[in-house]
Amino acid sequence: MPVAHHVLRHAAGPAAGRPALRCGERTRTFGELAADLRAGATHLAATGTRPGDLVAVSLADPLDTLVALLAADHVGAVGLVGDTGWSVAHRAEVLRALEPAAVVHAPLPRGPAGSGAEPHADPGPPPDDDRPAWAGFSSGSTGRPRAVVRTRASWTRSFDHVSRLTGIRPGDTVLVTGPLASSLHCFAAVHALASGACAHLVPGRPATTAALADADVVHLVPSRLDDVLDSLDAGTPSRLRTAVVGGAALDPAQRTRAAAHGLTLVAYYGAVELSFVTIDTGTGMRPFPEVEVEVRPQPGTRLGQVWVRSPWTSQGYLADASGPLRTQDGWCTVGDLAEVPDDAAAPGPLLLRGRGDGAILTAGATVVPEDVEAALRPVPGVRDAVVVGAPHRRLGAVVVAVVEADDRPGLRAHLERVGRSSLAPAQRPRRWYRLDTLPRTADGKLARAALGALVAGTDPEAEAGELTVLR
């Protein structure tokens, strides 16, 4: 959590009494938060934590989690948040692999009561920007989570760009709508605190809706954006002016709906390993400031691999873990795919087509799941759709569609008609399944890996609800 110094600086000035963190009924001003992080840092140091140590945080309460991360940062350690949805055995396995110097599994001591009444002492000199200051998990589209480590500068030096592009300013209330184990939501909270805004932690749909009236900006994934737009359509009072959306592509209809409420959408594409890559303020995905992007063509396909050269990229994985990150002469990629531009000299917006390891190779053709999903989602009765590959002895893989929809006659026939009219033969699903609700990860993204394992039969313990054949 590379912003403890920012919090201390705000607490030393006029912002000391201004709200910095909210979660449920709990609120901490910048002054109170500064006292808490100092008390927590004293506790960590007294129990043996030293600069450079890895400190794993395993707390259910988001506010306590954020305080622990700030305390670890103040000591000079590297904070790492685990997913509270992991089983005990899985958490133990991850910790054995990473061997953190300390594990925070109980809230750290708080600062003295009334500590926010007066500004705190000067925060001292800024910390070293080039030292590791945060680690976060990334599972990619498949496989076990792996921990990515980043320097302080790879986060904090992008803050001015993010503030300018999103319009976040001191005194704003910023809704953070997912778990801090997600880098998307952790960055949202970090940036809000550094900017002098209040980070309102509301992981959950009901809490998000209830918080709209007092929020200026919200950070979320596209599925949670639909919840916010539904609430606004229903007349929920709100002063929201901006929604910052990451994690998946936006549907054009979402921009139309947002505009009807005077809500500006700022969408971005990135990865835990790469941080920000492109940003879209309404004219398509363009490189984020100070980022260079290349789409390197792949033989036999119209798609290319996205490579990035940027000051915001990570240092790689902890514990020598393997992962999709590859580096070459200062450039990095995680295997994401995009359309190769017709004019390399003036490439225009980046048109993403998913993760390379999510592409389906069937009978020699490369099928990008997002292309098929985009054709299926507009069908009446379909709330959402996921396309995955299932192994096939002759074809290598076949395309499988799982739709979130009610059980109604004729739906499959309608979907197949749409497929015949709008999809190439290789793209058309060979198998169809239905779910009342598609499974999602803790941060709201579609759980593609779980569905893929289920329909492929490679994980008999995978759970995805009542998966039924669509007839």
Instruction: Tell me the three-class secondary structure of 359-427, residue by residue.
Output: CEEECCEEECHHHHHHHHCCCCCEEEEEEEEEEECCCEEEEEEEEEECCCCCHHHHHHHHHHHHCCHHH
The whole-number pLDDT of residue 88 equals 84
Collapsed DSSP state (helix, strand, coil) of residue 247: coil
* Sequence-ordered alpha helix ranges (H) in 47-81: 62-75
Residue 458: pLDDT band with limits 50, 70, 90: very low
Name 405's bridge partners.
Answer: 382
CB 445 within 8 A of CB 247: yes
Q: Name which of 114-118, 146-150, 242-246 the model is least confident about.
A: 114-118
Residues 6+ apart with CB under 8 A from 144: none
What DSSP designation does 214 have?
Answer: G
Q: In terms of Cα–Cα distance, which of 43, 20, 45, 22 is closest to 33?
A: 20
Q: How far apart are CA 469 and CA 362, in angstroms?
A: 21
How far from chain centre, in Å, is Cα 469?
Answer: 31
Q: How confident is the model at residue 104 (pLDDT cuts 50, 70, 90)?
A: very high
Please say whether the dihedral angle defined by the alpha carbons of residues 129, 131, 136 and 142, taken in this order, is positive or negative.
positive
- Token pair listed for 368: 């990008």
Polymer length of the chain: 471
Cross-strand partners of 326:
333
Here the tokens at position 132 are 């590791």
DSSP code at position 217: E
- Angstrom distance (rounded) from CA 372 to CA 340: 19
| pLDDT score recorded for residue 140 | 47
Q: Mutual orientation of helices 183-195 and 4-11 as an angle, nearest 10°?
A: 30
Q: What is the pLDDT of residue 132?
A: 94
Please report the pLDDT score of residue 465 as a whole number. Answer: 53
Under 8 Å between Cβ of 183 and 136? yes
Choose between 459 and 309: higher pLDDT.
309
Mean pLDDT of the chain: 88
- Backbone φ and ψ for 425, nearest 5 degrees, come out as -50, -45
What band does 459 get if pLDDT is binned at 50, 70 and 90? Answer: very low
- Domains in the chain, start-ordered, CATH in brackets? 4-266 (3.40.50.12780), 359-469 (3.30.300.30)
Contact in structure between 133 and 55 (CB atoms under 8 Å): no
Q: What percent of the chain shows pLDDT beyond 90? A: 59
The string of pLDDT tens digits covering residues 12-45 is 999 999 999 999 999 999 999 999 999 999 999 9
pLDDT over threshold 60, residue 139: no
Local structure of 276: helix, strand or coil: strand
Cβ contacts of 385 within 8 Å, gap of 6 or more: 372, 373, 376, 377, 401, 402, 403, 404
Q: pLDDT of 340-389, one tens digit each?
A: 887 777 788 998 877 666 778 786 677 878 888 989 999 999 999 999 88
DSSP 181: T
Tell whether the model's pLDDT for residue 119 goes beyond 60: no
pLDDT score recorded for residue 141: 41
Distance, first Cα to last Cα, the chain: 50
